[in-house]
Structure 1
Amino acid sequence: MFYGLTQLGVVHTAISLLAVAAGIVAFFRYKQITLATRAGQVYLWTTVLTCLTGFGIFQHGGFGKPHVLGIATLVVLGIAVLAGRSRAFGKASAYVEVVSYSLTFFFHMIPGVTETFTRVPLGSPVFANADDPGLQKVIGPIFILFLIGAFLQVRRLRAANRLAVAATGELSP
């Protein structure tokens, strides 16, 4: 076992790291996660696999908060895909898509930070367990970063929409 991980845990962690890397590439290269890019496609499928492999991990005894987070992630991914591939949310579809994908990226950070800092440094981890109040002091600022990023993405989409209206006289989808 590697840092107390089962074989499934190692596979799950590797897939989740690929998802996070794809998300970071999408944010920096395209300013958002979207299925229109290879990075977005990799992000989607590795996030789905991360959730599915996570359902088989019961290190903390039975079905728990991490499994609920996996279900929430899959639901929000479904909403993002629906918003990106249809007009189900009307004029707000592009905004729903970008914020939903960003929210799933934030969801990745919760177990990522929790599992990392309750395992390392080996033998003397930063936090004792997933319920350590100190973790909230780390997750809170990450949530603030999510909110700032979502705001900036929505602002960028609005600006692009205004430019499209000015250029064509029509509201872009």
Structure 2
Amino acid sequence: MFGITPVGWLHTLGSLPAIPLAGYMFVRHGRIVPRSTPGTAYFVAMLIGAVTAFLVAKQPVSYGFGAVTILLLLAGYGIGHTSIFDRSGRYLETIFLTMTVFLLMVPAATEILRRVPDGHPLVTDPRSPLLVGTQFGLLICLVIGLAVQIIYLRRQAKDGVCANHEAAITE
């Protein structure tokens, strides 16, 4: 079905939970919260998706997406365990982890448009206006989303709620 191999299904089904988990955390907390139960599940799903991308990749750009996703994921989850970055750590953590969502959504949207409906996909040409428009829309969402998150974090820092809020949201 959809021309997906068993390893492709592992890749798809392994990374799929990351989408609703990210959505939940964005709505509930305004960002991905790594030190929470949904944050841990997000990390596992993203890691499965990023690592298995190397097994299913057919284009060189896919290897780049996988490698950059792994680097951003590790940096985003690791930055909270160091005090080197002081106050900027929360901003970097938020930016890195939001970028992983973008790096998940671009190939996901691309693959959906190039495979659905089965046998007669919506997009057959990589330069299709629908595909390019979808990818551009995701880029716009990333830019706006990051801006909103940065503003939200700045307001929290200004109001002095960062430390108390972080402790309260670890689920």
Same structural fold, with TM-score higher than 0.5 when normalized by the shorter chain? yes
1:146 — aligned with what? 142
Q: Distance in 2 between matches of 1:11 and 1:116?
A: 16
**Please, what TM-score do these two structures have when normalized by structure 1?**
0.86
How many pairs were matched up? 160
Q: Distance in 1 between matches of 2:97 and 2:134?
A: 21
Asked if structure 2 preserves the Cα contact closer than 8 Å seen for 1:19 and 1:46, the reply is yes
Q: CA deviation at 1:10?
A: 0.8
Asked if structure 1 preserves the Cα contact closer than 8 Å seen for 2:2 and 2:119, the reply is no
2:122 — aligned with what? 126
Asked if structure 1 preserves the Cα contact closer than 8 Å seen for 2:22 and 2:101, the reply is yes
For structure 1, the 5+ residue unaligned runs are 166-173
Q: For 1:39-118, list aligned pairs within 5 A.
A: 39-58=38-57, 60=58, 64-118=60-114
Of all paired residues, the percent bearing the same amino acid is 26
1:24 — aligned with what? 23
What SS does the corresponding residue of 2:2 show, helix, strand or coil?
coil
Structure 1 residue ranges (4+ consecutive) displaced by more than 4 angstroms after TM superposition: none
- Structure number with greater CO (CA < 8 Å, separation at least 6) is 2
Q: Distance in 2 between matches of 1:89 and 1:132?
A: 41
Residue type at the aligned position of 2:138: I
Q: Distance in 2 between matches of 1:159 and 1:96?
A: 16
RMSD (Å) for aligned C-alpha atoms: 1.5
Residue type at the aligned position of 2:127: D
Q: CA deviation at 1:90?
A: 3.2
Q: Distance in 2 between matches of 1:121 and 1:88?
A: 49
